[in-house]
Amino acid sequence: MASAPQANLPMFYNDLMPLNSRDHSTWKAKNADAAPWLVGQHAIPLTAEEFPQAARHYPIIFASGDNPVPLALMGLNEGVNVFVDADGKVTQPIYIPAYVRRYPFLLAKLNPTSEELSLCFDPSSGLLGDSHEGQDLFTDGQPSEATKAALNFCEQFEQAGQRTQAFIDELKKHDLLMEGEVAIQQEGNEQPFVYRGFQMINQDKLREVRGDVLRGWAQSGLLPLLYAHLFSLELISQIFGAQVQLGKGPVPAVPVPAI
């Protein structure tokens, strides 16, 4: 039985329970053909290495505040996701961020005094259970191949998160982030719709970065990530159009919160 939702859990997660062979020896993981946890989520965390793939489908922005997490913008307003229907089924072929694919699993500390991370899951997800048909989580008391794959994916996600933080630290070091603003001209309206409440790369300051630093960024792969972000901002107008077609606005956007 799931306990009451815990405080300060990441987006999507209502509760966390450690996965173990004692309590979950007969449990299975079912295959999901929809992601109801994605319904109404308009901004999804991204790792930096996902920028090239995500930039083909979403505007990539940075959250407001002191923790500028990269985000895939799936809607211009809270509660709106133009890429999934009311049941959480993806309505078009798009790149699904790793943050979405990781759910319901998560690596977490069971002991606050230890650095060790354990594989946990959200028991409220309905994706794992004793009565499900699907993939075994344990075989003869040992983690199954499905569980090992989930653990490996979570470990890779944590490592990508550390690299993303180093990427953000580099942006801060060179003061490259600025408050963002994008104006979208609406047909039949003289006043454009203005989207604000996020951070973006300051192109003027990017042009001022020393050549040796730019060469280092080109060699490390950081420079293409900056341009993937900048080019992706053109897609904000497509999100706007999709919301209009769905009859969901947009209304003046609120600031994207820090995650």
Q: Exposed, middle or buried, 167 (CB in 10 Å: 0-12/13-18/19+)?
A: buried
What's the confidence (pLDDT) of residue 250?
A: 64
Percent of the chain with pLDDT over 90: 69
Beta bridge mates, 194: 183
User: How many Å is the maximal CA-CA distance in the chain?
Assistant: 68
The pLDDT value recorded for residue 3 is: 35
In this prediction, residue 259 carries a pLDDT of 52
Q: Are 39 and 90 in contact (CB under 8 A)?
A: no
DSSP state, residue 87: T
d(Cα 181, Cα 165) in Å, to the nearest integer?
24
- Give pLDDT tens digits for 85-143: 999 999 989 999 999 999 999 999 877 777 788 999 999 998 999 876 889 999 988 99
> In 146-226, which ranges are E strands?
177-184, 193-201
pTM score, whole prediction: 0.88
> Are the C-beta atoms of 164 and 70 separated by less than 8 Å?
yes
What average pLDDT does the chain have?
89
Cα 94–Cα 100–Cα 103 angle in degrees, nearest 5: 145
End-to-end, the C-alpha distance of the chain in Å comes to: 28
Q: From CA 169, how far away is CA 123, in angstroms rounded?
A: 34
